[in-house]
Structure 1
Amino acid sequence: MLFKGTEITFDSPQIMGILNVTPDSFSDGGKFTSASSALKHALDMVNSGATFIDVGGESTRPGAKELSVQEELDRVLPVVELLNAELDTIISIDTSKPQVMLAAVEAGASLINDVRALSVPNALETAAHLAKSHGVPSCIMHMQGSPQNMQEAPEYNDVVAEIVAFFEKRLAQLIKAGFSSEQIIIDPGFGFGKTLGHNYAILNHLRQFTDLGLPVLAGMSRKSMIGNVINKPVDERLAGDIAASTIAAINGANIIRVHDVQQTADAMKIVQMVSKFNK
């Protein structure tokens, strides 16, 4: 897959390092709100094995409030510009706002990562334009509800089948809007409108998403689906995260989105070694 002309192959799982430039994210809010601290953390993640750095300026934790466009731009643009100038990496912009997508790509971002699957007015048209004019792919995520209400009472008859059907419909809409099928990544949305059981059903059946023929991103890092099983606070979930990321990679995930890059990179080396003996 090409990201503004930079080719990334998914013959082994790639790591996306999380860089939240927010004061209120559930795990690392407030840690990287200055451009200099964000750059240092991004550099550490790249040196530890991250292929992507995912910059987010708006928290999407359960119950989070939405930011204005200007607030989000003020948070992310200085960071994207600095990372683009200082690092050789693929910068992903974690946003749902078309204005932020456009400005971030102009500042150096090479991937749009949207938890709302380009459903905000004008987001699909903007992302399709950026795909065609700048060669910027998009990652679309499934979410039942919104961050404000998604965990109140999520319900499915068959969570995996329903999310697969959502992607089939949404992919057709993206193609119609002007995307190439080689410019789309899908994310089943662990923790976004899912119960504990839903999350683990998705993880167990992740191959059904890879059957759509597109790269699959799995983002479970430090989420409650880990904490509620091992009964540990956010900053003590590394072992659970490694286990979940390893299972996701074995089940076909192409991109693993995490906070703890070095440890995940080590785990992915083991996954890759095992896969060599399955060919």
Structure 2
Amino acid sequence: MIGASQPTYAVEGRGLVKTFGDFRAVDGIDVAVPAGSIYGILGPNGAGKTTMLRTLLGIIDPDEGHRSLLGDPAPLRQARNVGYLPEERGLYPSMKAFEAVAFMGALRGLPLRIGRERARAMLADYGMGASAEKPIRQLSKGMAQTVQLFGTIVHEPRLIVLDEPFSGLDAFNQGKLEVLIRDQARRGVTVLFSTHVIAHAERLCERVAIVAGGRVRFEGTVDDARNRLRPQVRLRTRASDGGWRRALPAETLAEDGTWHFPLPQEGIEPLLRALLDGNAGIESLSIERPGLHDAFVAIAGEAAARQMQDDQQREEAA
């Protein structure tokens, strides 16, 4: 387990700005990643996620603002305590899989002997033991990406930063990666990852930053994001008319014999009473809490949500 001496926030950025010529890739971003949490940066491609991560890690310097990594205002001093998987993958094609993992650990100060032992164990546990001796060029894209992921964590960092880690993985390997992320968090490791797939963030994250146009449009818990929208009620009745209809909210829509409307502020009980007293004949009634996708649309807008969907479709078709 990670020791109790780590700071409250593993990663902090305040007022971060980064420009490239006239383009403002990061525009006054504030972010705070609690130590030991799984934290997602959610937004479409081109939203500034990668620049934001690289600025927080110290790979590039901001034009304005301040950042700290594991409590250190000079992020690069903490490099050995960080595992970083960039969006652009890169491995030596002739290197054996287990050697590639050990080599990446050695770059972070892990002795090669220990790295090789850990690499073989990690590959075996992941069902890739038979591929440990194979050169990278003989591995599938997903397997090579898994090797690079293991190289990111083999030195047992306190902070893991993954830039679009699910990109290029099939559904089976995406699920295995989610398990690995949860396992790391249970050890007390902080996991920060970017994604344009809302489902991954909703399943994994305790907190998210929703990013669009280089700005953080929302930062907080997934529940806080979802709670910005009122739950939706779906109601079917045997009767189609009657005095009870006056009790339905003004925003009510009818579709295929079902009434749709936001949950009234006063709750469902007064409406239920009116429906029963008016002999509406309730056939079904459900209250559906908004998902993170609904919250994303409300916060970042329809255009950003459509771009996220297009990004995912292009990736699946590749």
Give the TM-score category using the shorter length. Answer: 0.3 to 0.5
Q: Which has the larger radius of gyration?
A: 2
Q: As a proportion of its length, which structure holds more strand?
A: 2
Q: As a proportion of its length, which structure holds more helix?
A: 1
TM-score of the superposition, structure 2-length normalised?
0.32
